[in-house]
Amino acid sequence: MSKLIKIFDTTLRDGEQSPGCSMNTKEKLEVADRLQKLGVDVIEAGFAISSPGDFQCVKSIADTIRDSSICSLARCLPKDIDAAYEAIKGAAAPRIHVFLATSPVHMEYKLKMTPEQVLQSVDYHVRYAKAKCSDIEFSAEDATRSDPEFLAKVVDTAIRAGATTVNIPDTVGYTTPDEMKDLIRFLREKVPGCEDIDLSVHCHNDLGMATANSLSGVLGGATQIECCVNGIGERAGNAALEEVVMALKVRGALFDAYTNIDTKQIYKTSQKVYSIIGQTASRTKPIVGKNAFAHESGIHQHGVLANKKTYEIMTPESVGIMTNEMVLGKHSGKHAFEAHLKEMGYDLTTEELSACFEEFKKLCDKKKEVTDRDIEALVNHGDNQLEQTADMYRFDRFDVHAGNFSTPTSVVRLKKGDQTFEEVALGDGPINASFEAINKIVNPPEHSFENFSIQSVSEGNDTLGDVLVTLKHNGKDFKGRGLSTDIIESSIMAYINAINRLIACSRTEQDKGEGVL
């Protein structure tokens, strides 16, 4: 009989810890909602003790999400476990996740603890957590570089203390598929009680083997995989949720396993995460990249036309990519637009629908055909915008003059409340000139440009240009996105969006500083 492999998603904890992937509470709630619709078994919502903001974020997710278990990470410290419990106690299915390192290098240099002290700590803190919550996960950090015999003692100690899940992390992406399979099989055979709990694997991608190692763990007897949407995570990232899930689906007979994931929600979840963290998928990214279901080679095209199975081991529809697109236009009404959004899997509030429909109508005046890719971009772009306040700058209009024998000039007009500001500036190009004009108006805090990218949303020379701007100020990244058929306009919108975020954060820091002695 096929076994259920639980999917433990740590996008909001391990994924969000990676540089450039931070999210605010509203964004985390949006991702958590997507993960719930995806059918994720366990959502690791954060590290509650790390900051008051993270605590509140974990609590908000625990109080909101009803169909997935909600988990918070905690070190083997009573204060961490207390904070984790207080944050997740309102969840429909709360879980506390405690961890302690077990490799020789970690025990000697980081923990400065003997193996016996580690065993004592595991026993005490798992029992401490168990007294608060029935569902306890223990992770042996850097397990794959630990002595297997000692690791077996740690696993046995955790189970006896009440752990319902024991995780075997490849913390630094060091192991190989055969080694991971053998290690899980060894623990299954060596430790009494393993048959009564979930053995989990948590693999990092430092050597490019996170997905392979996770699947090998399943072959060895693991019943839970820990992963992140789009494979984000510290350093080279974690095992990608979409990859392990579709591997188990496509090769179900080999693994004799299945998951609870609604795979048709994969693409929407991937796009939501990419939109929020201000990144885009590589064209060749498995499952969700633009080339994943594209065929250019004549031999491939001939085969696919004869039978898709010749070169496609899964269908785009199976991961939620719509291939037979319904084209909407300027004569489409709001009800038809809303109905099509629901077919695409989007359920917007009345306010969100009105805003999105307004942008859709504007786009219809600029493009001959508006495709599902365009609509997805409008929805995700709307989710990514700051809530407008009177003290924020709003884009009004621009006018540029540029040529290869003249210095580019840009005039930009912005609004702030009832005020209107207009400046002109020269630059190395029309976009640079526009940014300089904005700087004259706003006079923003000192910052550096970390990233500027333009990506087409769909096909055709009238496609939407999706622009991402990332600014850095005081060690923090501030992202802004702009969407328009005019790449200069979308660039201006993205820059203003990022500047507004930077100014809002700078103002908050100043307000906090006023009360410090």
- What is the SS3 string spanning 179-215? HHHHHHHHHHHHCCCHHHCEEEEEEECCCCCHHHHHH
Q: Are 346 and 378 in contact (CB under 8 A)?
A: no
- Quick one: 406 and 375 in the same domain? no
Domain that holds residue 262: 3-277
Residue 314 is classified by DSSP as S
- Quick one: 249 and 117 in the same domain? yes
Whole-number Å distance between alpha carbons of 94 and 179: 32
In a domain, 286, yes or no: no
Provide the pLDDT for residue 139: 98
Task: Give the total number of structural domains in the chain.
Answer: 4
- Quick one: 18 and 163 in the same domain? yes
Provide the pLDDT for residue 279: 84
- Quick one: 61 and 104 in the same domain? yes
Residue 420, domain CATH: 3.30.160.270
Whole-number Å distance between alpha carbons of 74 and 58: 12
Q: Are 316 and 60 in contact (CB under 8 A)?
A: no
In a domain, 177, yes or no: yes
Provide the pLDDT for residue 348: 84
In a domain, 388, yes or no: no
- Quick one: 188 and 261 in the same domain? yes
Domain boundary among 364, 383, 402: 383
Q: Both tokens of residue 197?
A: 């709990």
- Quick one: 315 and 329 in the same domain? no
In a domain, 96, yes or no: yes
- Quick one: 250 and 107 in the same domain? yes
Helix (H) or strand (E) holding 72: strand 69-75
In a domain, 287, yes or no: no
- Quick one: 135 and 262 in the same domain? yes
**Phi, psi (deg, nearest 5) at residue 458:** -135, -165
In a domain, 285, yes or no: no
Residue 249, domain CATH: 3.20.20.70
Whole-number Å distance between alpha carbons of 204 and 198: 20
Residue-by-residue pLDDT tens, the chain, 517 positions? 799 999 999 999 998 887 777 888 989 999 999 999 999 999 999 999 999 999 999 999 999 999 999 999 999 999 999 999 999 999 999 999 999 999 999 999 999 999 999 999 999 999 999 999 999 999 999 999 999 999 999 999 999 999 999 999 999 999 999 999 999 999 999 999 999 999 999 999 999 999 999 999 999 999 999 999 999 999 999 999 999 999 999 999 999 999 999 999 999 999 999 988 878 888 899 999 888 887 544 555 556 567 777 778 899 899 988 764 455 676 777 887 888 788 777 888 888 888 888 888 888 887 767 777 788 888 877 655 655 566 789 999 999 999 888 999 999 999 998 899 999 999 999 999 999 999 999 999 999 988 898 888 877 677 788 898 999 988 888 888 888 889 999 999 999 989 998 888 776 555 544 333 2
Residue 328 is classified by DSSP as B
- Quick one: 102 and 69 in the same domain? yes
- Quick one: 187 and 212 in the same domain? yes
Provide the pLDDT for residue 182: 98
- Quick one: 248 and 369 in the same domain? no
In a domain, 476, yes or no: yes
- Quick one: 363 and 459 in the same domain? no
Residues 6+ apart with CB under 8 A from 483: 377, 378, 381, 457, 464, 465, 466, 467, 490, 493
